[in-house]
Amino acid sequence: MDNLRDLPNSDGFFGNYGGKFVPETLMFALKELEDTYDQLKSDPDFLKQIDQDLCHFVGRPSPLYFADRLTKHYDGPNIWLKREDLNHTGAHKINNTVGQILLAKAMGKKRIIAETGAGQHGVATATVAARLGLECHIYMGAADVQRQSLNVYRIKLLGAEVHAVDSGTATLKDALNEAMRDWVTNIDDTYYIIGSVTGPHPYPMIVRDFNSIVGRELRDQSIEHFNAFPEAIIACVGGGSNAMGIFYPFVSDPEVQLIGVEAAGSGIETGKHAAPLNDGHPGILHGAKSYLMQDENGQVIDTHSVSAGLDYPGVGPEHSNLKDSGRAIYLAVNDKEALDAFHMVTRLEGIMPALETAHAFAALDHLSGKFNKKDNIVINVSGRGDKDINTVATMDGISLD
Amino acid sequence: MIRLERKFASLKENSKKALVAYLVAGDPDISTTLELMHQFVLSGVDIIELGVPFTDPIAEGPIIQAAHDRALQANTSLDMIFSLVEEFRSKDSETPVILMGYINTFLANSKALESIHERGTDAVLIVDVPGESSLEDIGIQNKNIASISLISPTTDNDRIQKICMSSSGFIYYVTLRGVTGASNLNEDEIQKNILNIRNSTNLPVLAGFGIKTASDARALSQISDGVVIGSVLVEMIQELSEKKDYKKIYNYLNEISAAINP
């Protein structure tokens, strides 16, 4: 198992997955990014700057909180919550953007672009760009612009320009396509902040490393609170950055079960879902080889999930390797289960999770009986649910107008 | 591959430049594509580049993206495209045909790719595979088809050499930073870079991306071995497909052909 921690290899592969499958124009920019990151990742000044930003700007460390009523409700293992929802801007996404914006600065880039699904990465990117006074463009599927209108307005307030993408399915994957096209066109002065552990090498590694602060904190906090590592860590997986960030520091600790939760949408059996690790095949999209929702001709299939942040046909290549190696397992929960979990956690704990995060909570129903009462399990609360109240109201048949 | 070599040898013998025309297979439908391919050849086209439609064509501008969508609407599969080329060959045994697309569709059909040269295809150009990889590296076992690679304004010398080593057919020089159909050509830079590429290879070097007018084509053909025209044709196909009268395209191609070989 030890070698899993040493990936990716120098070609950007995690086992069979990953790589750099991009148009030639981008190869130079990926090399430039790789070299910069290689140089800075052990530079004391750079690391100090990140630590300071994470502490004073983001508000880290995020607490490890005991969910007393949720634990009583399930009458099973002790349930702990890693509170990424308490970060500045409301999700784990800011951990990555504070790091990448420093790379952009070090590379002398003047213009920042990003894709976003639920809008959290768009907000987190617009936030760090505003802080450094950099021009910022956010690509967002037109369908997501509709269902995440609060975040769209937040991004605009932060001074960034939002580009609604109409092509394809008008969701996250199309936003990524369009951001890549922008990058090819403006390659000389533009830095692309990818928001998940997806895309061509070195992005899956960089985004994982910046998010790994979550798992590193959890190592200390779990010893402090219950004097052991957790029995299991549960996190939702779209592209998979919050999951990778909390999993990675535990990859070489086989006693810690790693459980990812994908979006089963209307149900895996209906085909209308966003669960490539459960019901996809290896393929290549957005620069990396990984599990992918595709038809027999290699065309990417439309996805479905109530959660804009999980509504993506691919997944980070490192997750594909963790799946094949058996180090992590991946469940899937459907829209209704996620919505029920959203309500349950809100009422029992006074914590309103993002719909993405609600998938991780919904997995608790699938895991009953798997743990002892003395066990401790941790759920990564990847983000808060304020952005989702319109969607939840609509699903519950309530009009807010 | 042999057809490509013969074509470039004959162009060279006659001191002529190559005109490559791109269209998306299956836009608006396969039978129209077949008709257009034959008519393109009659209008002065030397090599046909068939776009293989993909749901997520990240190197394409909006015009060609929309054509990919239309072809997918018409349920165009890679297998149908292999058959299309086979049918084209029943009347045209000489014009080289290149398939240009994205790796995921090719991988999904890797078995069928083993026999495509017997079915008339001469080369593949896979946009999202790094040019230094061979077809074998990515799981395509076929020594009889050429592997055409892109070199862009941002490719450094080290990569240029590696790409030239693993390429065959010709080198496709991307004339701009951007997607297909953009318009920011910089002639001086293009000339300098093409001369530089020629230090690493004896393969023909063609220029493409963003060539629209006869004067663009003429200027670029003077500093390369030929030009690739794509978005303009695809846009006209879309515009004319309702009336199914494509004469305007044939006239345009004749004009381009005359401009590059006056």
Residues B205-260: tens digit of each pLDDT = 999 998 999 999 999 999 999 999 999 999 999 999 999 999 999 999 999 999 99
Same domain as A202, residue A219: no
Same domain as A234, residue A346: yes
Query: Does A400 map to a domain?
Result: no
CA distances from A345 to A62, A338, A353, A386 (A): 19, 10, 7, 14
Within 8 A of B163 by CB-CB distance, chain A residues are 24
Interface membership of A185 toward B (CB under 8 Å): yes
Question: Is the dihedral angle over the CA atoms B182, B186, B191, B192 positive or is it negative?
Answer: negative
Is there a contact between B178 and A185 if contact means CB atoms under 8 Å apart? Answer: yes
Interface membership of A201 toward B (CB under 8 Å): no
Locate tokens 């109201």: which residue? Answer: A393
Is there a contact between B55 and A300 if contact means CB atoms under 8 Å apart? Answer: yes
Question: What is the distance in angstroms between the Cα of B86 and the nearest Cα belonging to chain A?
Answer: 19
Domain of B45?
2-260
Q: What's the total number of domains in chain A?
A: 2
Output the average pLDDT for chain A: 96
Question: What is the distance in angstroms between the Cα of B105 and the nearest Cα belonging to chain A?
Answer: 4
Q: How confident is the model at residue A65 (pLDDT cuts 50, 70, 90)?
A: very high
Same domain as A168, residue A289: no
Rounded to an integer, the average pLDDT of A239-250 is 98
Same domain as A311, residue A270: yes
pLDDT for A2 beyond 70:
no
Please enumerate residues of B whose Cβ is less than 8 A from a Cβ of A: 54-62, 65, 69, 72, 77-79, 102-109, 127-131, 149-156, 159, 163, 174, 177-179, 182
Q: How confident is the model at residue A1 (pLDDT cuts 50, 70, 90)?
A: very low
Domain of A388?
61-90+212-395
CATH of the domain at B191: 3.20.20.70
pLDDT digit string, tens, across residues B92-141 = 999 999 999 999 999 999 888 888 999 999 999 999 998 888 888 877 77
Q: How confident is the model at residue A11 (pLDDT cuts 50, 70, 90)?
A: very high
Is there a contact between B150 and A28 if contact means CB atoms under 8 Å apart? Answer: no
Output the average pLDDT for chain B: 94
Query: Does A260 map to a domain?
Result: yes
Is there a contact between B56 and A177 if contact means CB atoms under 8 Å apart? Answer: yes
Q: What's the total number of domains in chain B?
A: 1
pLDDT for A57 beyond 90:
yes
pLDDT for A193 beyond 90:
yes
Q: CB of A292 within 8 A of CB of A300?
A: yes
Decide which of A207, A233, A249 is a domain's last residue: A207
Query: Does A9 map to a domain?
Result: no
CATH of the domain at A358: 3.40.50.1100
pLDDT digit string, tens, across residues A217-228 = 999 999 999 999
Interface membership of A163 toward B (CB under 8 Å): no
Decide which of A176, A207, A238 is a domain's last residue: A207
As a whole-number percent, the residues of chain B with pLDDT over 70 amount to: 100
Rounded to an integer, the average pLDDT of A220-245 is 98
Q: How confident is the model at residue B1 (pLDDT cuts 50, 70, 90)?
A: low
Within 8 A of A187 by CB-CB distance, chain B residues are 154, 177
List the catalytic residues of A: 93, 115, 382
Same domain as A236, residue A178: no
Rounded to an integer, the average pLDDT of A360-365 is 98
Interface membership of A35 toward B (CB under 8 Å): no
Is there a contact between B174 and A20 if contact means CB atoms under 8 Å apart? Answer: no
Is there a contact between B108 and A296 if contact means CB atoms under 8 Å apart? Answer: yes
Of A25, A285, A296, the CB nearest to B56: A285
Within 8 A of B62 by CB-CB distance, chain A residues are 167
As a whole-number percent, the residues of chain B with pLDDT over 90 amount to: 85
